[in-house]
Structure 1
Amino acid sequence: MTYANNWYSERDDAQHTGASFVIGAASEVYFNNLLYSNASCMAVGVAKEVRDEISYGGFSNSDLGYDLVGCVSGTLLSRFVMHGLSISANDNRFSLNYQLSF
């Protein structure tokens, strides 16, 4: 039984981190502001934990920690990598370009 709980916990942690990473990256593209992006991403995580508390008394600070890791890494990757990325396609050509300004 312990092994099943550990497997579930690790899977749940990865899901929180991964989902928050995607939400953080998308919110950074939308807001183009690290503060707003991280705040909106964490608001989703807090809302999910409040729902868990109401549904079955399962609010988890640990899950919020994994949400924070996902939000911050998603927004930073989006800010410093994705904003310089451009994709174009025409005829039989596909281009992926990255531009970084110093």
Structure 2
Amino acid sequence: MDNPQPVFRALADTTRRDILVMLRGREMTIAEVAENFDITRAAIKKHLTVLSDGGLITVEARGRERLNRLNAEAMAPVQDWLRFFDAFWDDRLAALKTAIEKDKT
């Protein structure tokens, strides 16, 4: 499994999670993203850098603009990590169910 740490770091902030939701529909410039928040454009740029470092977005230069696009495939390491815990809890709940059914009889 790939190291999910950069992705978790990127997802740790609500502003960055909100940006990802915005980018799910279309690519956006820094200015377009910044219009949706009450923080400076420089702060938005920093958030976008963290998202890019985590691989959650890709940035493409088109002329003077930098277009930010969601890269949902980068969530795979996080999904793999969460699947481990899904399996853990499935096993625990199955054991609990067995114990309860055994106790009833």
Asked if these proteins are the same fold (TM beyond 0.5), I'd say no
Greater helix percent: which structure?
1
* Rg larger in structure: 2
TM-score of the superposed pair, with normalisation by structure 2 = 0.28
